[in-house]
């Protein structure tokens, strides 16, 4: 025990020193939010079409994409993705050729072509974003799953069975530019653009299959359109204008749409479809915003982040440094808290449609994000300013606004969503779009509910005597898997969800002896690796059951251990073995330390947070020392 604690002390000291040295002058921390090669590929294609004179960036993105190619010619979303990923491979192949720095006769391009053809060609891609880029640039028809949704849906009043604000905010900002382009049958080709016709296997371009209930949803949409009063052509033109305004009204000060690179790229194509000039200020500002999203990937090469994680990272680091015994009068904590306070949102935006009459008070993920707060970022920021809020009026005001906003976001079912409450209409998950189940709605999730309860219990002093807590606790108990785990939406995946649920439940007073808690802890111990750590494959996200990675990752090991620390009155041999494995991983640098453990869209989008190597291990080690250090 003393050996474990002394090792923990040294590691905590090393990590806190390193983090304090990396803080920026404004109090923030900047770590890369790495998202595979998808955004890099789209940026190359877009920049070439717009003739953006940034040859250095295009070449760097090209080199990074090429560097990620596998021996069999494919690209993967994660290291253990069996058989590669066709959508990612098509995007990469297309972008490499579009850049002009790779030629069709190059050996890597030939390998990529053979791989894509072996998987059935571009007609077999599943990602709706890939299909949209290919359609917008003349390589395939607009998919029916998009073109069959009429623009008039934007005009449906909120009392209609389906209306636009039943979709999640994330899906709306991506769907809107796609609907505009599909409605206009937009297709833009430029001289010297690659021709992917040799990757189109006509045998595989079959009619699109539609999910269960899709026709029912279509009937509701058509019924809604028929109830709109006025000349159909006038209604349609009005809907197109409304879609255009929908995008423009959600452009952030850096030029990006909703602070996401993916939706910004689609918006630029949609503006071109609406006959905006390539040099229009909205387009040039958006290009500047995209360009500013670059960072260094884990391979040391340039990549474009889908949305910089600066607020999220700064909130979490400020919190974990305090858990590691850096006091709130330390200059770094004061600076970071002031930074976070300055980024608390004060605008009544889309989240208020389902949550009216609530004072704004949330935080978003990125610095540029001023209209799209989320529950997870908000509770992270509130943890970070908790200590200062008890003594300084400015932070107390921020605390009260934030706490009120978090409580107001609870869903009717008792759980918490990410961005907008009560946007969980099952019908929208029937969209014939890959990933619609996760993208189209924003339901209660175990990770969001667990993390919110942990904040409310450990930092706001609430427990199951309070109605919010009682309902949230019941939701988590009700949604535990049969094996004792919970599914986590924004991390990979069952380890993440189980950590959030167990730390949340114990924080609000559910005893460690409770059957729900014991089942969760028993499940975590049952999946521990022989080296003492934990590791879960991104495949879990798509298959919806736990898939072991076969190796241990730092963040997943930290999550599992932090959950066990919350439950166990004394450290067990298994926990001590895990702690030593976790510390050892802090001094390693291989694919396990860069494996993506952040989730975005199952089967399509995963993230490697460079900050997670510090945040979750430091939190876990600090909690271990705090709970067991005196024993």
Which of 374, 376, 434, 442 is the catalytic position?
Answer: 376
Residue 302, H or E segment:
strand 302-304
CA atoms of 62 and 56, how far apart (whole Å): 10
Classify burial at 144, counting beta carbons within 10 Å of its beta carbon; exposed 0-12, middle 13-18, buried 19 or more: middle
Burial of 219 (0-12, 13-18, 19+ CB in 10 A): exposed
Question: How many angstroms separate the CA atoms of 308 and 32, rounded?
Answer: 7
- Check if 376 is active-site: yes
Q: What are the backbone angles phi and psi of residue 403, rounded to the nearest 5°?
A: -60, -45
As to burial, measured by CB atoms within 10 angstroms (0-12 exposed, 13-18 middle, 19+ buried), residue 71 is exposed
What is the rounded (10 degree) CA torsion for 229, 234, 235, 239?
Answer: -160
Q: What is the DSSP string of 150-164?
A: -GGGGG--TTSSS-G
The number of residues in the chain equals 631
Q: Six-digit token pair at 558?
A: 């930290």
CA distance 229 to 231: 7
CA dihedral 311, 312, 313, 315 (to 10 degrees): 80
What H or E segment, with its residue span, contains residue 133?
helix 128-136
Q: Cα 354 to chain center, whole Å?
A: 22
Count Cβ atoms below 10 Å from residue 516 Cβ, excluding itself: 18
- Please state whether 480 falls in left (phi above 0), alpha (psi between -120 and 50) or beta: beta
To the nearest 10 degrees (0 to 180), the angle between helices 55-67 and 38-50 is 150
Angle between helices 2-22 and 573-585 (to 10 degrees): 30
* Euclidean distance between CA atoms 204 and 597, whole angstroms: 33
What is the residue-wise DSSP string for 180-228? HHHHTT-----TT----GGGB-GGG-PPPP--TTHHHHHHHHHHHHHTS
CB 128 within 8 A of CB 434: yes
CA–CA distance, 181 with 494 (Å, rounded to integer): 38
Hey, which residues are catalytic here?
A: 376
């Amino acid at each position: 025990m003393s050996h474990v604690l002394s090792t923990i002390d040294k590691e905590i000291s090393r990590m806190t020193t390193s983090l304090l040295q990396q803080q920026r002058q404004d109090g923030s921390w900047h770590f890369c939010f790495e998202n595979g090669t998808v955004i890099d590929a789209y940026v190359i294609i877009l920049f070439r079409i717009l003739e953006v004179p940034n040859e250095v960036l295009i070449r760097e993105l090209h080199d990074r994409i090429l560097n990620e190619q596998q021996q069999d010619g494919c690209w993967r979303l994660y290291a253990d993705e069996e058989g590669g990923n066709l959508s990612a491979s098509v995007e990469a192949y297309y972008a490499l050729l579009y850049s002009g720095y790779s030629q069709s006769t190059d050996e890597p391009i030939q390998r990529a072509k053979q791989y894509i053809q072996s998987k059935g060609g571009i007609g077999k891609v599943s990602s709706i974003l890939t299909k949209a880029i290919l359609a917008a640039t003349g390589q395939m028809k607009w998919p029916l799953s998009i073109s069959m949704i009429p623009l008039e849906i934007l005009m449906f009043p909120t009392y209609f069975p389906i209306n636009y604000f039943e979709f999640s905010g994330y899906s709306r900002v991506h769907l809107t530019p796609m609907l505009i382009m599909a409605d206009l049958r937009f297709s833009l080709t430029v001289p010297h653009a690659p021709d992917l016709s040799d990757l189109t296997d006509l045998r595989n371009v079959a009619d699109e299959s539609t999910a269960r209930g899709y026709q029912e949803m279509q009937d509701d949409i058509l019924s809604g359109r028929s109830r709109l009063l006025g000349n159909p052509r006038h209604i349609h033109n009005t809907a197109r204008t409304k879609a255009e305004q929908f995008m423009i009204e959600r452009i952030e000060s850096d030029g990006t749409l909703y602070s996401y690179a993916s939706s910004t790229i689609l918006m630029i194509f949609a503006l071109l479809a609406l006959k905006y000039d390539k040099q229009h200020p909205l387009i040039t500002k958006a290009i500047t915003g995209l360009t500013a999203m670059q960072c260094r990937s884990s391979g040391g090469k340039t990549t474009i982040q889908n949305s910089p994680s600066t607020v999220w990272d700064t909130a979490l680091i400020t919190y974990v440094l305090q858990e590691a015994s850096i006091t709130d009068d330390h200059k770094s904590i004061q600076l970071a808290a002031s930074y976070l306070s300055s980024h608390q949102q004060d605008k009544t935006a889309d989240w208020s449609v389902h949550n009216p009459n609530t004072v704004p008070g949330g935080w978003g993920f990125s610095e540029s994000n001023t209209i799209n707060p989320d529950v997870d970022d908000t509770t992270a920021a509130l943890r970070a300013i908790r200590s200062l809020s008890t003594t300084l009026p400015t932070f107390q005001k921020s605390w009260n606004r934030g706490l009120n906003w978090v409580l107001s976001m609870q869903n009717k079912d008792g759980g918490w969503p990410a961005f907008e409450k009560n946007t969980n209409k099952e019908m929208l998950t029937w969209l014939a779009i890959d990933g619609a189940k996760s993208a189209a709605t924003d339901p209660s999730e175990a990770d969001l509910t667990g993390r919110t309860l942990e904040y409310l219990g450990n930092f706001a002093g609430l427990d199951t005597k309070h109605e919010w807590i009682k309902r949230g606790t019941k939701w988590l108990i009700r949604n535990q898997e049969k094996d004792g785990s919970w599914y986590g939406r924004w991390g990979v995946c069952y380890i993440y969800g189980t950590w959030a649920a167990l730390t949340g439940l114990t924080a609000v007073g559910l005893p460690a002896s409770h059957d729900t808690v014991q089942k969760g802890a028993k499940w975590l111990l049952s999946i521990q690796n022989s080296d003492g750590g934990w590791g879960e494959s991104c495949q879990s996200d798509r298959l919806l059951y736990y898939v072991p990675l076969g190796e241990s990752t730092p963040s997943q090991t930290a999550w599992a251990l932090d959950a066990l620390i919350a439950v166990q009155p004394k450290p067990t041999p298994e926990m001590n073995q895990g702690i030593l494995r976790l510390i050892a991983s802090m001094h390693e640098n291989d694919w396990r330390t860069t494996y993506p453990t952040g989730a975005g869209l199952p089967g399509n989008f995963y993230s490697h947070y460079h900050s997670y190597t510090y945040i979750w291990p430091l939190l876990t080690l600090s909690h271990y020392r705090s709970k067991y250090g005196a024993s």
